[in-house]
Amino acid sequence: MTHHPAAGRPVAPVIAPYGLGWAIVALAVGGFGIGTGEFAIMGLLPSVAGNLRVSVPEAGSLISLYAFGVVVGAPLITVCCATMPRRRLLMGMMVLYALANIGTALSHQYATIAVFRFLSGLPHGAYFGCAALVAASMVDPGRRAQAVGRVMLGLTLATILGAPLAAWCGQIIDWHLAYGVVGLIALLTFGLLRVFLPPIPAAAGASPLTELGALARPQVWLALATGAVGFGGLFAVYSYITPALIHETHIAPALMPVVLVVLGLGMAAGNTIGATLADRALRPAIVGFLIWDGLASLLFVPALPHWWAVGGDAFLIGCGVALAPALQTRLMDVAADAQALAASLNHSAFNIANGLGAALAGAAITAGLGWSSPGWVGGVLALCGLAIFLVSLGLERVRPAGADAAARGVPAPARG
């Protein structure tokens, strides 16, 4: 049984018209499309730079523009659409994502493509935040993290299949075609959501003001900071694993996709196992995942001279994505009646982690600390994220996360 978000009354999970499995598949296909659209550019940078006649760093700014769109769009769309039925909101996000990616595919000027990459990022956080809440509403409380993890599995599968296929498409045919395909996946998701997702109204009492109330809760900020800093460790190594291997181990560039696929497999495994562990004991799981991220990042330092050792460590680093469904569930607990904004901001935090990890690792390399330095940066970021979460737990002992919610008649989250 779940709880009514406003009155605290126990209610049964929402029933999907064709079963939970198909509803989760529909949500995950959207995640696969978004993940492919987000990560494809990393394998297409040389093709994009050459086609647009700009430098690789200039083409790389398209990654930052997408991330900036995520950071801006997640809170803006969630607050403005607080009263919109959930299925309609998800379908709307897919339409926006489809149009922005098709616009990218049809554009041949850097400035126009930059605008469309920013627009593509806008629905990212709002989609995943809403999808997580919808998935959680269709299962019992003890299976929330697993439901969220299955939705996020679409995103992790994009690193294994979607992004490599997009890179191949860009190298063999035309990189524009990759974004056209992403747009078609988004339109396919629109149809799947329309058929397999039940009509779900917004939470009782939902409003822009209620959602903004999440920003007044210290535990929400601490959970977001844990992700923005602690998750940066994964991205510190991920962002530079390709040039590090090429420069230090002199690995053949043709073998690099194999290493990246291994990292993607680690993400898929971590997402699945991590969600199960988070449902069993949420707080210890988050602590354990942050320690794992730190150790896996540090292992990159001694592993770097050997490409096969880095390949093994890449799997361990990928497993660190287990933190994602755990933090998403944590935010559901501490946000009370403003879960939609908190859930979407989680993905803004992850994009901040992406930028923070890459920027600090890049600064370390530029400072002459060597290609192994991203491992040290990743270890420090994971340790800082752990410190932030321990502060959160300390404050929770003084004032439980659900204390404010209970005063308004909202049930405090179950401890785990």
pLDDT tens profile 327-355: 878 887 787 666 677 777 787 888 888 77
User: How high is the pLDDT of residue 107?
Assistant: 92
Nearest in space to 161 (alpha carbons), one of 32, 56, 319: 32
| C-beta of residue 67 within 8 angstroms of C-beta of residue 354 | yes
| C-beta of residue 1 within 8 angstroms of C-beta of residue 140 | yes
What would the mean pLDDT of 398-402 be, rounded to a whole number? 62
Q: Which domains does the chain have, with CATH numbers?
A: 1-206 (1.20.1250.20), 207-416 (1.20.1250.20)
User: How high is the pLDDT of residue 412?
Assistant: 45
User: How high is the pLDDT of residue 161?
Assistant: 83
Nearest in space to 235 (alpha carbons), one of 145, 147, 149, 159: 159
Specify the higher pLDDT residue, 38 or 196.
196
| C-beta of residue 16 within 8 angstroms of C-beta of residue 23 | yes
Per mean pLDDT, which range of 166-180, 259-273, 336-350, 376-390 is the poorest? 336-350
Residue 18 pLDDT grade (very low, low, confident, very high; cuts 50, 70, 90): confident
| Tens digits of residue pLDDT in 297-311 | 999 999 988 888 888
Q: Is the pLDDT of residue 128 over 60?
A: yes
Report the residue count for the chain.
Answer: 416
Q: Residue 217: phi, psi to the nearest 5?
A: -100, 115
Q: Is the pLDDT of residue 409 over 90?
A: no
| Tens digits of residue pLDDT in 357-393 | 877 888 888 888 888 888 999 999 999 999 999 999 9
Please report how the helices 373-398 and 339-366 are oriented relative to each other, as an axis angle in degrees rounded to 10: 150
* Cα gap 127→331, rounded to integer Å: 16
User: How high is the pLDDT of residue 100?
Assistant: 96
User: How high is the pLDDT of residue 6?
Assistant: 41
Per mean pLDDT, which range of 81-95, 143-157, 275-289 is the poorest? 143-157
User: How high is the pLDDT of residue 204?
Assistant: 63
* Cα gap 378→376, rounded to integer Å: 5
* Cα gap 328→262, rounded to integer Å: 25
User: How high is the pLDDT of residue 214?
Assistant: 64
Please name the residues in contact with 195: beta carbons below 8 A apart, sequence gap of 6 or more. 17, 18, 26
| C-beta of residue 34 within 8 angstroms of C-beta of residue 189 | no
| Tens digits of residue pLDDT in 206-230 | 556 666 666 778 888 898 899 999 9
* Cα gap 45→57, rounded to integer Å: 9
What would the mean pLDDT of 407-411 be, rounded to a whole number? 43
Q: Check the CA dihedral 311-357-281-27 and report its sign.
A: negative
* Cα gap 88→108, rounded to integer Å: 32
DSSP classification of residue 3:
E
Q: Residue 201: phi, psi to the nearest 5?
A: -70, 160
If phi > 0 it is left, if psi is from -120 to 50 it is alpha, else beta; for residue 252 that is: beta
Tokens representing residue 27 in the block? 């949500």
User: What's the whole-model pTM score?
Assistant: 0.74
Q: Is the pLDDT of residue 155 over 90?
A: no
Q: CA 411 from chain center: how many Å?
A: 28
What would the mean pLDDT of 26-32 be, rounded to a whole number? 94
| Tens digits of residue pLDDT in 39-84 | 787 667 667 878 888 876 677 678 778 888 888 898 888 888 878 8
Alpha helices in 174-255 (DSSP H): 175-196, 208-212, 218-225, 232-238, 241-248
What percentage of the chain reaches a pLDDT higher than 90?
Answer: 28
